[in-house]
Amino acid sequence: MLFFEKIKKNYLLLFAIPAVLIYLVILLPDCRGRETFDEESIIDSSDVVTDEYGIEITALTEIKGKVKNNQTLSDILLPFNASHELISGMLSNSKGIFDARKIISGNNYTLYLTNDSLQSLNYFIYETGPIDYVVFEFTDSINVWQGSREVTTKERIISGKIESSLYRTLNNINVSDLLALRLSEVYAWQIDFYRIQKGDYFKVIFEEKYIGEKFVGIGRVIAAQFNHWGNDFYAFGYEIEDKREFFDENGKSLRKAFLQAPLKFSRISSSYSNRRFHPVLKTYRAHLGTDYAAPTGTPIMSVGDGVVLEAKYSSNNGNYVKVKHNSVYTTQYLHMSRFAKGIKQGVRVSQGEVIGYVGSTGLATGPHVCFRFWKNGVQVDHRKEKFPSAHPIAGEYLAEFQSRMVHIKNILDKTPVEIELQPLASEIKAESNRKL
């Protein structure tokens, strides 16, 4: 294979130079006699430099860049002695591996040119993401292969007290915002993240993904405890038949029949009330819904599985969707800027599915979704309802779940409420100044 030939060639170079030096040393008049030179000990393996993509880069010049807006492969490579012929070769040789026409602005690339006066292009590496990349090797032909960096997962335990928001607390202890989103998903059915209050606290065992020292994302949430308004909510991740879900300490699913809210993050701009001053009509009337303010275009999710009863426009409601979940519950979402693709009367939707986007159509002063909830045909405040939970852990798995849960719960319970980046395993180093 050409790739190995190249390595061999470079090895030869590496061997050749020290060999000449050794030869000279040996031939010097007061040479050190019979001292033998073991090639292995002379060629220090650290002389062979390999880059982050596993490419041997001795005697190559490295050029790194980011794909600019509207930049094509030709724009990037033509200034570096690449021919049009080479570029079309790249496109055809990478077929089935990677579509080289689809390079995305903002992604990283690396070029390697020879160190000599020719400065010929030896490698082009394009990063398709933080983990995966594609290597183009230019020898007599063009070799293309995909690679991925090794991702290491570190388990961490953190805890924090809410001062204003979960985001702010996580930022203060140098943890990625992404964990806030994960926690909001884990607790979507238990905790109204719009109503968490100062003094609420949490402890989370979770995974962070790294490439080398670089943080690249949040892995799984292993377990969590969230103390909300003085009540403990535990969550333990457990996988049954390839499906991972969160259960409480009694093996009950944290998933309920309905989501707490139709938006992931927003703020309640107007609660359900039997008498409120209407901002547009300027009169007091009942507000039989909950308004969630969010920027126009924010996705609106169906709070449960169901069938779309209506998806249409009316002068008061604007664009709205009404979903029938079962014989008991129906929900409605008003003032949408537009419907999600395929949302129309009679279509099945699942819990968490995006059905439309926040807007201010109809009788609305600003972008928000007015969320309405019917129980047995009567409008109710969904935030005061207690919803049934999804299936608990089946009997045959319960014993195993219990024993693992007890162990993890012990770790959570023993963790003080305010700690700084406490490592869970001894090999984990606390990184205090890392900006995520």
Stretch in the footprint of Zn ion (CB under 5 A) among 6-14, 72-80, 287-295, 348-356: 287-295
Stretch in the footprint of Zn ion (CB under 5 A) among 31-39, 55-63, 284-292, 399-407: 284-292
370 binds Zn ion (CB under 5 A): yes
Complex with Zn ion: residue 289 or 359, whichever CB lies closer: 289
Name the residue with the smallest CB distance to Zn ion: 370
175 binds Zn ion (CB under 5 A): no
Handedness of CA 171, 188, 383, 311 (dihedral sign): positive
Complex with Zn ion: residue 290 or 415, whichever CB lies closer: 290
- Minimum distance of Zn ion from residue 318's CB (angstroms): 11
Q: Among 215, 291, 336, 343, indicate the residue that binds Zn ion (CB under 5 A).
A: 291
- Minimum distance of Zn ion from residue 278's CB (angstroms): 9
- Minimum distance of Zn ion from residue 270's CB (angstroms): 6
Number of residues that bind Zn ion (CB under 5 A): 3
- Minimum distance of Zn ion from residue 271's CB (angstroms): 9
127 binds Zn ion (CB under 5 A): no
- Minimum distance of Zn ion from residue 362's CB (angstroms): 10
289 binds Zn ion (CB under 5 A): yes
- Minimum distance of Zn ion from residue 168's CB (angstroms): 28
Complex with Zn ion: residue 225 or 302, whichever CB lies closer: 302
Q: Let me know if 140 is exposed, middle or buried by CB neighbors in 10 A (0-12, 13-18, 19+).
A: exposed
Stretch in the footprint of Zn ion (CB under 5 A) among 42-50, 229-237, 370-378, 406-414: 370-378
Complex with Zn ion: residue 191 or 370, whichever CB lies closer: 370
331 binds Zn ion (CB under 5 A): no
- Minimum distance of Zn ion from residue 377's CB (angstroms): 19
Complex with Zn ion: residue 235 or 370, whichever CB lies closer: 370
> Under the rule (CB under 5 A), what is the footprint of Zn ion?
289, 291, 370
